[in-house]
Chain A
Amino acid sequence: MNELIQKAKSLLESDTVQVVIGYGKGSADKTRAIFLTKPEDCDQLLFDSRCVQNLAVYLTKHEIKHLGKPAIVAPIPVLRSILQLAVENQLKESDLVILGVSPESKLIEFDSFGAIELFLNAYKIQIDEKYKATIDKIKAMPVSERFAFWIKELEPCFKCYACRAACPLCYCPKCTVENNQPQWIPAASHLLGNLEWHVMRAMHLAGRCTDCEACYNACPMGIPIHLLTKSMLQDVEEHFGPYGPSVGKRNTLSSFNPDDKESFIR
C-alpha cells in the first residue's frame, strides 16, 4: 500500500495530476471515495477488500473534472469501466493517470488503454454461478409470474437514482428520465414507473455494462437490479459472442457484424 501512497504523492508533488481519486476510511467500518489534492494527504489512501465502490464514476463528473487531471486507484472493475468509457469516447489516454491495483493488491501502472486490455484478458467478465442459477430460475418463470416477481422486487424503489449515480456508465448530463418533452419514462415511483425506469436502465446498459455491481451496492433498498444487467450481459454473450470492452472495437449493440448469428431474427 505504501507503494500506492508514494506514487500518489509524487504525482501530486510533480503536478503530473491535480487530484488523486482513491479509497479512504469512511464511517463505521466502511471505506469511501476520497479526492486528494495535496501530497501530504496521500497517507489517507487505503486499499483492501472493502473497497468495492467503482471510482470510475467520478471521472466523468463535472465537479471532479473541474479539479484538474486525475490519477485514479483502479482495481479490476474500475479498469473495465475505464476501458468502456474510452470505447464510448468519454476518456482519452492523456486525460488521466491510472494506478492499477492487481487482485494481489500490487500497484500496476498502465501507459495505454491497450495495456489495460491486455491485462484484463486474464480477467474476463464472468457471471457468478449463484447468480446464473437465480437468473435461470427467473427466466424459467411464466411471463405473468415473472412480471409479478419484478413488480414486487421493484416496489420498494423510491427513485433516489443512487443506482444511476453510482454507475460509471450513466454519464449523460441529462438522463432520459429527465426529459419531459415528452416524458416517456414516468418520474413518479409508482409500480409501473419503477418498472419502466429499471427496464430502461438495464436496456441502456445492454452491451455496455461491465458487471461491477455498483448499482446494487448503492441501492439503499437492496433491490437486486444487478440481476437485470447480468441477464442482459448473458444475452449479449449468447447472441453476439464473448463480450468485454475493447478500444477500437465498435459497441456490440450499435454495430453490425456479418458474423452475428441473428438467430433471434431468422
Chain B
Amino acid sequence: MSKIGVFICHCGENISATVNCGKVAEVAGKLEGVAYSTDYKYMCSDPGQTIIKQMIKEKGLDGVVVAACSPRMHEPTFRKACSEAGLNPYLCEMANLREHCSWVHDKSDATTQKAIDIVRTLVEKVKHNKPLSTIKVPVTKKALVIGGGIAGIQASLDIANAGHQVVLVEKEPSIGGHMSQLSETFPTLDCSQCILTPRMVEVAQHPNITLMTYAELEKLDGFIGNFKATIRKKAKSIDEKLCTGCGLCTTKCPTKKIPSEFNEGLGFRTAIYVPFPQAVPNKPVIDKLNCQYYLKGKCKVCEKVCPTGAIRFDQEDELVELEVGAVVVATGFNIMTTSEFPEYGYGKYPDVITGLQFERLASASGPTLGEIRRPSDGKIPEKIVFIACAGSRDPAKGKPYCSKICCMYTAKHAMLYQHKVHHGESYVFYMDIRAAGKNYDEFTRRAIVEDKVNYLRGRVSKVYEENGKLIVKGVDTLLNAKPVEIEVDMVVLASAGVANPGSEELAQKMHISYDAYNFFSEAHPKLKPVETNTAGIYLAGACQAPKDIPETVAAASGAAAKVAILFSQNELSREPVVAVVNRSAPPLYSTCVGCFMCATACPYSAIGEEEIKDRKGNVIKKVAKVNPGLCQGCGTCVAFCRSKSIDLDGYTNEQMYSEVMALLNE
C-alpha cells in the first residue's frame, strides 16, 4: 500500500481563480494510496516546500504529487525538496494544473473536475515510480565555434582566454565575416578593419585556438559536454605548411574576371585568391569552380610560379572528427540582393546597389579605394537616394520583421557620402527612424542637422532608368502624402537582413530549432537569449536575428561565458530518464529480437549492439543497448519497438498505462 502525499498549489490566483483547490485536495485525500493531501497558496515558496518536507518525514510518504505549474517550471524545485527530506527525487511527480487546466478553462465545476482527474492520473503513475539516480557524464573542455565573423572571433577569444581549447571553423578562406567588409562603423565612424583586424590576428596567434578556414560542419552527434563533430576541410589546393603567402600566384593567375565576394561583385578576383589583403590566414585557395586547370585540365600557372612548390592540385576534401563539449553557432546573416526587388529594377540597373555594396565603395580597401563612384561608369554621383526598409517590415516580401541595423547604417552611408562628396545631395526614404541605442539617435540627428541629409518619410514605389538617370518615384507622407520624383545618379537599398542560405540544413544537422525566417531560435527570448533548446549549443550574433556589432559582440561574450560556466565543471549530472532494453529469463535473455530499427530511429545515435554471452563466452544473442550518456529520453525507440523490449525509465509502459487507465476507469 502506497503512502502518497498530494500537494495542491494555488499559484497565487493562477490556479485558484478557476479551480477549487480545496475541493481537489479533499477528493485527492480520499484516493486509494494517498496518505496526505493539502492545498497551499504558493507551494514553491519556502513555507510551501517545508510542508512537503515535513509531511514526507511525518507520514513516511513514499511518493509525492505536486499539483501546480508545468514541470518545466518547477519540477527541479520540488524534486530537490523531496530529496532534502530523504525521498528519492524521482518519486516526486508534478500534475500540471496551471498550463493544462486553470489557464485554459473558465471557472467551473468541470474545470475543478479536470484538475481532480489530472491529479488522479499522477497519483496512479507515482505508484509505479521507482527510485532513480542521476547519471554522471564527463565534460570535454574544448569548444567548437562555427563561423569566423566578429561573433565567432569574440566568442573564440573569450573562451580561449578563459583557458579552454577552441576550434574555430569558417567556411570562407578567411575569417572576418561581414564586419571586414564594412567601411566605417556607427555611431563613432571608426574604421571597421582597424578595430577588427587586430582581433583576427589575435585569433590566428592564440595558443588555445585552432583555426580551420575553408571548412564546414558536416555532422554533429552527441550531447552537452560530449559532442562529436565532423568537419569537412574543403581542399584549398595548396600546402599551407609550404605556402608563405607571398601572393605571386594570385598576380599571375590568368583567370582574373571572377566577381569578388568580398567586394560584393563590384571588383574582381583571380581563381587562386586571398579574399582581401588583411585576410587571416593570409594564404590563397584555389576556387575549383573557376580555375582553368580544374575546368579544362590545362594551365597550372600558379604551380609554375610558386617559389615554394606549395600548389597541390590533387588535394582532396578532408574530414576531421573532433570531440568537443560545447558548440557556439555564429554563422551570421546575409542580405537580400537587388535582384529580389522587381520595383527597383530586378537588379538590372547597375547603379541600384545594396547597402553592403555601398560599404565596399566607401571602404578604403574597396574597388574604388574609398571614393564613392557609381558602378556603371565610375562617375561620382551628384545625387543619391537611400531607400530604408528595402524588404524589411514588408510582409509582401515575406520579411515582416525589422532588420534593425538599416536605420543606423543608412544614416552612416548618407553621412559618409556627404563627407566624401561635399557638393552632393542625398535623400533617405524611410518609414520610421529606429535609432534606439547608446548615441544612436544623436547620430541620425547629426546626419540630418549637420550633414544636411534630406530625410523623406515615405516609401519608394518605383525606380526606373531614363536618359542615364535613375528616376525615383516615392511619396513624402509628411507633406500631405505628396508624390515625389527625384532624378538621381545612384540608389542604395538598405536591403533586409536575412538568414544565411543553408542555415536550415545546418540547424537540422545540429538539432537546434529555427524560426519561420530560418534564423536560429534561442531557448527563451528573454531569459535564455544565447542558449538554444539543445543543451550545450549556444548562439552568438546575427544567425539568431539581424544584430549590430555591439549587440553581436555582447551576445558572443555571453555565449562564451555560458561555455566557460559549462567547462568549469568536471562532470555533469544528467536526468536518469533514459531508455533501457529489458532482460528476461533464459532462453530469451531479452525479448529484444535485434532488428535494430530502434537504432535507425534514434535521433541521438544512442543505440548500439550488445552481445549476450554464456559462461564460456559464446554469443547467444545480439540485442540493442542504449548508451545512457547519449540517450535523451525522447522515447522514440520505445514507440518503435514492436516487442516492447525497451522501456523509458521515469515514463515506463506501466506508468503510462496506469495513467491512462486512471482516466478511463473513472
The size bracket of the interface on A is: 20 to 34
Contact (A175, B643) CB under 8 Å given A88-B595, A254-B597, A255-B600? yes
Taking the closest CB of chain A, its distance from the CB of B662, in whole angstroms, is 12
- Do residues B508 and A258 form an inter-chain contact, with CB atoms below 8 A? yes
The one of B595, B622, B643, B653 in contact with A184, judged by C-beta atoms closer than 8 angstroms, is B653
The one of B588, B593, B654 in contact with A171, judged by C-beta atoms closer than 8 angstroms, is B593
- Complex alpha-carbon distance, A184 and B588, angstroms: 21
The one of B594, B597, B642 in contact with A176, judged by C-beta atoms closer than 8 angstroms, is B642
- Do residues B643 and A172 form an inter-chain contact, with CB atoms below 8 A? yes
Contacts of A89 in B (CB 8 A): 594-596, 622
| Residues 90-105 (chain A) with a chain B CB within 8 angstroms | 90
Question: Is B304 an interface residue, CB under 8 A from the partner?
Answer: no
Q: Which residue of A lies closest to B508 (CB)?
A: A258
Give A103-128 as 1s and 0s: 1 = Cβ < 8 Å from B's Cβ atoms. 00000000000000000000000000
- Do residues B644 and A250 form an inter-chain contact, with CB atoms below 8 A? no
- Do residues B658 and A254 form an inter-chain contact, with CB atoms below 8 A? no
- Complex alpha-carbon distance, A175 and B597, angstroms: 16
- Complex alpha-carbon distance, A88 and B622, angstroms: 13
Contacts of B653 in A (CB 8 A): 179, 181-182, 184
Contacts of A173 in B (CB 8 A): 588, 591, 593, 643
- Complex alpha-carbon distance, A258 and B508, angstroms: 9
Contact (A172, B594) CB under 8 Å given A182-B657, A254-B600, A255-B601? no
- Do residues A174 and B640 form an inter-chain contact, with CB atoms below 8 A? no
Q: Which residue of A lies closest to B622 (CB)?
A: A89
- Complex alpha-carbon distance, A250 and B591, angstroms: 22
Contacts of B594 in A (CB 8 A): 89-90
Question: Is B598 an interface residue, CB under 8 A from the partner?
Answer: yes
Q: Which residue of B lies closest to A62 (CB)?
A: B587
| Residues 641-657 (chain B) with a chain A CB within 8 angstroms | 642-645, 653-654, 657
Q: Which residue of A lies closest to B657 (CB)?
A: A182
Q: Which residue of B lies closest to A182 (CB)?
A: B657
Contacts of B657 in A (CB 8 A): 182, 184
Contacts of A182 in B (CB 8 A): 653-654, 657-658
Contacts of B654 in A (CB 8 A): 181-182
- Do residues B595 and A204 form an inter-chain contact, with CB atoms below 8 A? no
Contact (A176, B644) CB under 8 Å given A89-B594, A90-B595? yes
Contacts of A250 in B (CB 8 A): 600
- Chain B residues bordering chain A, tally (CB within 8 A): 24
The one of B505, B591, B593, B600 in contact with A251, judged by C-beta atoms closer than 8 angstroms, is B600
Give A249-266 as 1s and 0s: 1 = Cβ < 8 Å from B's Cβ atoms. 011001110100000000
- Complex alpha-carbon distance, A233 and B600, angstroms: 20
- Do residues B508 and A254 form an inter-chain contact, with CB atoms below 8 A? no
Q: Which residue of A lies closest to B505 (CB)?
A: A258
Contacts of A172 in B (CB 8 A): 591, 593, 642-643
Contacts of A174 in B (CB 8 A): 584, 588, 591, 643, 645
- Do residues B593 and A254 form an inter-chain contact, with CB atoms below 8 A? no
| Residues 575-633 (chain B) with a chain A CB within 8 angstroms | 584, 588, 591, 593-598, 600-601, 603, 622
- Complex alpha-carbon distance, A179 and B652, angstroms: 13
- Do residues A254 and B591 form an inter-chain contact, with CB atoms below 8 A? no
The one of A171, A184, A254 in contact with B640, judged by C-beta atoms closer than 8 angstroms, is A254
| Residues 245-270 (chain B) with a chain A CB within 8 angstroms | none
Q: Which residue of A lies closest to B642 (CB)?
A: A204
Q: Which residue of B lies closest to A85 (CB)?
A: B595
Q: Which residue of B lies closest to A87 (CB)?
A: B595
Q: Which residue of B lies closest to A255 (CB)?
A: B600
Q: Which of B508, B601, B658 is the most central at the interface, judged by chain A CB atoms within 10 Å of its CB?
A: B601
Contacts of A175 in B (CB 8 A): 643
| Residues 205-224 (chain A) with a chain B CB within 8 angstroms | none
Q: Which residue of B lies closest to A200 (CB)?
A: B642
- Complex alpha-carbon distance, A7 and B189, angstroms: 89
Taking the closest CB of chain A, its distance from the CB of B654, in whole angstroms, is 5
- Complex alpha-carbon distance, A88 and B596, angstroms: 7
The one of A88, A171, A179, A181 in contact with B597, judged by C-beta atoms closer than 8 angstroms, is A88
Contacts of A179 in B (CB 8 A): 591, 643-644, 653
Q: Which residue of A lies closest to B621 (CB)?
A: A173
Taking the closest CB of chain B, its distance from the CB of A161, in whole angstroms, is 15
- Complex alpha-carbon distance, A253 and B600, angstroms: 9
Taking the closest CB of chain B, its distance from the CB of A38, in whole angstroms, is 28
Contacts of A258 in B (CB 8 A): 505, 508
- Complex alpha-carbon distance, A254 and B600, angstroms: 6
- Complex alpha-carbon distance, A88 and B600, angstroms: 11
Q: Which residue of A lies closest to B595 (CB)?
A: A88
Q: Which residue of A lies closest to B609 (CB)?
A: A89
Q: Which residue of B lies closest to A249 (CB)?
A: B600
Contact (A251, B597) CB under 8 Å given A174-B591, A182-B653, A182-B658? yes
Contacts of B596 in A (CB 8 A): 88-89
- Complex alpha-carbon distance, A256 and B594, angstroms: 20
| Residues 180-201 (chain A) with a chain B CB within 8 angstroms | 181-182, 184
- Do residues A254 and B644 form an inter-chain contact, with CB atoms below 8 A? no
Contacts of A204 in B (CB 8 A): 642
- Complex alpha-carbon distance, A204 and B642, angstroms: 6
Contacts of A171 in B (CB 8 A): 593
- Complex alpha-carbon distance, A50 and B502, angstroms: 56
- Complex alpha-carbon distance, A152 and B591, angstroms: 34
- Complex alpha-carbon distance, A46 and B243, angstroms: 74
Contacts of A255 in B (CB 8 A): 600-601
Give A61-89 as 1s and 0s: 1 = Cβ < 8 Å from B's Cβ atoms. 00000000000000000000000000011
- Complex alpha-carbon distance, A204 and B593, angstroms: 14
Contacts of B658 in A (CB 8 A): 182
- Complex alpha-carbon distance, A258 and B506, angstroms: 12
- Do residues A254 and B643 form an inter-chain contact, with CB atoms below 8 A? no
Q: Which residue of A lies closest to B601 (CB)?
A: A254
Taking the closest CB of chain B, its distance from the CB of A184, in whole angstroms, is 7
- Complex alpha-carbon distance, A172 and B622, angstroms: 14
Taking the closest CB of chain A, its distance from the CB of B446, in whole angstroms, is 48
Contacts of A256 in B (CB 8 A): 603
Taking the closest CB of chain A, its distance from the CB of B304, in whole angstroms, is 43
Give B192-230 as 1s and 0s: 1 = Cβ < 8 Å from A's Cβ atoms. 000000000000000000000000000000000000000
- Complex alpha-carbon distance, A44 and B435, angstroms: 92
| Residues 145-186 (chain A) with a chain B CB within 8 angstroms | 171-176, 179, 181-182, 184
The one of B588, B598, B622, B645 in contact with A254, judged by C-beta atoms closer than 8 angstroms, is B598
- Complex alpha-carbon distance, A172 and B644, angstroms: 10
Taking the closest CB of chain B, its distance from the CB of A105, in whole angstroms, is 33
| Residues 366-397 (chain B) with a chain A CB within 8 angstroms | none
Q: Which residue of A lies closest to B589 (CB)?
A: A173
- Complex alpha-carbon distance, A244 and B454, angstroms: 68
Contacts of A88 in B (CB 8 A): 595-597
- Do residues A176 and B643 form an inter-chain contact, with CB atoms below 8 A? yes
Contacts of B591 in A (CB 8 A): 172-174, 179
Q: Which residue of B lies closest to A176 (CB)?
A: B644
- Complex alpha-carbon distance, A184 and B595, angstroms: 22
Taking the closest CB of chain B, its distance from the CB of A90, in whole angstroms, is 7
- Complex alpha-carbon distance, A61 and B598, angstroms: 22
- Complex alpha-carbon distance, A182 and B597, angstroms: 23
Contacts of B622 in A (CB 8 A): 89
What 7 A-B pairs are tightest by C-beta distance, nearest first? A182-B657, A172-B643, A254-B601, A88-B595, A254-B597, A174-B591, A254-B600
23 contacts between A and B (CB under 8 A): A88-B595, A88-B597, A172-B591, A172-B593, A173-B591, A173-B593, A174-B584, A174-B643, A175-B643, A176-B642, A176-B643, A176-B644, A179-B644, A181-B654, A182-B654, A182-B658, A184-B644, A204-B642, A250-B600, A254-B600, A255-B600, A255-B601, A258-B505
- List 19 additional A-B contacts (Cβ < 8 Å) besides A90-B595, A181-B653: A88-B596, A89-B596, A171-B593, A172-B591, A172-B643, A173-B588, A173-B593, A174-B588, A174-B643, A179-B591, A179-B644, A182-B653, A182-B657, A184-B657, A204-B642, A251-B600, A254-B600, A256-B603, A258-B508
B binding-site residues for A, Cβ under 8 Å: 505, 508, 584, 588, 591, 593-598, 600-601, 603, 622, 640, 642-645, 653-654, 657-658
